[in-house]
Structures are given as structure tokens and as C-alpha cells.
Structure 1
Amino acid sequence: MDVTAKATTTIRTRLLRILILALAVLLTLLGVAAAEQISAYRNASATDKNARLEITLQGLVHELQKERGLTTGYVGGVGQFKAKLPAQRRATDTARAALDKALKGRWGRSSSPTPGVSRSAFRPSTTSSRRGRRSSWR
């Protein structure tokens, strides 16, 4: 009976089987290609966010270096730097606020990949008190 059942299958049934198999393979390949494209898009998006964060961080480092240079010059005896220090400190504070904004929510609840690093590195009260001591040295 098995031999006669195979013999009685029509060409239409055979073609449908072939088409269904080809369609399944095609859909599988399209799914794999779509998954790769989504992964590439996510990687590009993460790279873009990291590049923007790096630029913001570079801006803060640059402002800190300028403030350090003015402070060192002022403490070293160049009195004309005293007038430039408040504006530079505001620029540094603005750059720090921009970095805080960029980091906000980046690593979940903390603003740092290792909790406490950001808080210990730039405590506003500590930074202000240090600045005050430096300004009163001369």
C-alpha cells in the first residue's frame, strides 16, 4: 500500500512540498540577515554614544587643564591670572555639568561604572573649598 500511495501523489503535491521547503529556507536566511543588521545597528548606536561621551570628557579635561594652568600661574606669582580664574572656573563647572548629564543613567542607578568613583573624584564641596584655598594663597 505504501508503494501505491507514493505513486498516487500528484505533481501539484510534490511541487507544493518543494516550494514550502524553499520558502522555509528563504525565510530562515532572511531572519538571520535581519538579526545581523539589527546587531550592526545596535553596535553603531553604542559607538556613537561612546564617541559623544568621549568628546564631552575631553572638553572637561581641557577646561580642567586650563584652570590648573591659570591657578599654577597665579600661585606662582602672576597676579593678572586672578581676574581670569572665576570665568575659567565657571567654564570648568559647565563642562563638568555637561559630563554629568552625559553620564546620567548610563550605568543604571549609578553615574559611574564603579559606584563611588565619580563622587570621590569631583565632590563639589571639596572642589570649591580647594579653589577657595588656592585663591587666598596670594
Structure 2
Amino acid sequence: MSHRAGTAAACPCGTGVAYSACCSRWHEGKQSLQAPTAEALMRSRYAAFVQDRLDYLLQTWHPDTRPLALDPNPRGIKWLGLRVVSHIQQDPDHVTVEFVARRRDAGRAARLHEVSRFVRLNGRWFYVDGEFPA
């Protein structure tokens, strides 16, 4: 999938805002901005997964848990949407965000249900890891 979305195209993250006014600013490093909240980072990471922005995913992954590399989406996968279930702030620098992402893979529907942990270091949010509830 192309990294470039039309200015009027809705952001894949599900906010209903145009991509150019939403996650694009963080993906492209515009305005030297970082996602201001853990939920905004999680949404921008979902949009990055949809668009195979592997560099952004690695840059926003906590250094202690970050993999060396990521594989792009398998051929034929189509991401269908994101629903944020909850956003729980443990303290000013630790947040969990529960979400469900839907996709179609080779014609079969699938869901990714994750409770993700985020931490803020030096004013910047990072994805740490996630658990998959039963």
C-alpha cells in the first residue's frame, strides 16, 4: 500500500479526520510533533501498520522491547478498522490502551484484540508491549 494518502482521505486510525490532519503529521515528522497521548500514539501506530510504515513503528517502540526489524503486511491483507475499547492512565507516564483491529486476510475475517502498554520518556510516548485477552 502506498505511504501517501490523499489529503481528503480519512485517516485509517478511525478518528474520522483526514489523514493529512491526523496521523500523517506524526508519520512524516511534520512540526517536530510527537503523538501527544498514548491513545494518539496507538492510533498512529495502527495507521502505520495499515500503510506498512515500518520505520515509524520501530521509532515509536520502546528501545528495551523493540525488535530489530518488522515484516511488512502479508500480500492480500486488508485492514478494516480500529475500535478503542479503553484508555487507562496508571500515572502521568504509564497508560494502557485496549483496542480491537479488524482485518481481512485472504478473504477471511480476523480480529486483533490487544491491551497495549505505553510509557512516556522525556516527554515522548512509546509502545512497550501488549497482551492478548482471551
Under TM normalisation by the shorter chain, which class is it?
under 0.3
TM value normalised by structure 2: 0.19
TM value normalised by structure 1: 0.19
Structure with the higher fraction of residues in helix conformation: 1
Structure with the higher fraction of residues in strand conformation: 2
